[in-house]
Amino acid sequence: MISSKKSRVLGLLGLSAAGIVGCSTTTPPRELADARAAYTRAASGPAPQLKPDTLIEAKRTLNTAERAFSQSADDRDVATLGYVAQRRSELADVQARNVMNEQEQAQAENEIQQIAAQRMSQPQPDMSQKLEQAQRAQTDAERRAREALDKLGQVRDEARGTVLTLPGQVMFYVGKATLLPGARQKLNQVADALRDETDHSIMVEGYTDSTGSDQTNEILSQKRADAVRDYLVAHGIKADMIKARGQGKSNPIATNATATGRAMNRRVEIVVENPPSR
């Protein structure tokens, strides 16, 4: 770098000497005219701000060409100096535009990061509001359903969900799967409470006491569960949300050794199931 600068200074001196002995010219060669125009164009563009070093070099090369011309240097030398001077000016202009592009890209990428950071830090206000509303509405619906079920009979919470137990003697004729008039009234209320249920599926389970054969008990408990399910579907519960299952004498809730215990074991349970994700 240092040596090249030194040689340039020496060279400029040498050019002056060479120019003195050159032949005379009156009109500048086309290359010099082009070089002047190219420099003017580069100097009025972004180069003075963004690529001043190359522009200054372009100016120096142009000055050298001008000096060679004014000192009547050989035409060919002036032409070559002018040609290179023109290219230097063009180079300054193109390099400045390159810097400008890089700056614009950096600025745009900065903005992209800012926008991304904003989105990360604050979720969309309207979205969070909607989510909150939906959660509140769901909680309200669950609370109302639970309150309604509480009025109907025994309700308990188990791992699988909320269980409403309906005693068999108020639901069915003895040994049959036909609903009693009082059962219809209760099931109407169950249907009202669970009609809007969309998140929780419902399982209707029929149970018997231990008297009689297993097969009879299972068939009877299945028929009774089906009867309850069909009634609820007929009264507005969505069919794809509710299933029925006969459980026979399994899962007794009281002893089968006493009449009272057997009466308690004959029952229908309506389970509002917890979603698997909870």
Partner 1 sequence: MKYVGRGTAVLVGILMAGCASFPPPHDRVAASEAAVRSAQELGAREVPQASSYLTLAQDELDKGKAMMRNGDNREAAELLERSRADAEVALAMTRETKTRTAAQEAKARVQALRQGTAPAVGGGPQKPPAPPPPPNPAPPPSP
Q: Are 166 and 270 in contact, with CB atoms under 8 Å apart?
A: yes
For partner 1, which stretch binds (CB under 8 A), given 57-65, 134-142, 199-207, 212-220?
Answer: 57-65
Nearer to partner 1, 61 or 201 (CB): 61
| 34-53 positions binding partner 1, by CB under 8 A | 34, 37-38, 41, 53
Phi, psi for 196 (deg, rounded to 5): -85, 5
If one asks whether residue 95 binds partner 1 (CB under 8 A), the answer comes out as yes
Closest of 203, 183, 194 to residue 246, by C-alpha: 203
For partner 1, which stretch binds (CB under 8 A), given 91-99, 144-152, 172-180, 253-261?
Answer: 91-99
Q: How far is the CB of 133 from partner 1 (least distance, A)?
A: 22
If one asks whether residue 101 binds partner 1 (CB under 8 A), the answer comes out as yes
Q: How far is the CB of 72 from partner 1 (least distance, A)?
A: 13
Q: Are 164 and 197 in contact, with CB atoms under 8 Å apart?
A: no
Q: Are 235 and 187 in contact, with CB atoms under 8 Å apart?
A: yes
Q: How far is the CB of 129 from partner 1 (least distance, A)?
A: 16
Residues 42, 99: Cα–Cα separation, whole Å: 14
Phi, psi for 165 (deg, rounded to 5): -105, 125
Report, in this order, helix, strand and coil percent for the chain, each rounded to 5. Answer: 65, 10, 25
Residues 64, 59: Cα–Cα separation, whole Å: 9
Which residues here bind partner 1, judged by CB under 8 A? 1, 4-5, 7-8, 10-12, 14-15, 17-18, 30-31, 34, 37-38, 41, 53-54, 57-58, 60-61, 64, 68, 73-74, 76-77, 80-81, 83-84, 86-88, 90-91, 93-95, 97-98, 101-102, 104-105, 108-109, 111-112, 115-116, 118-119
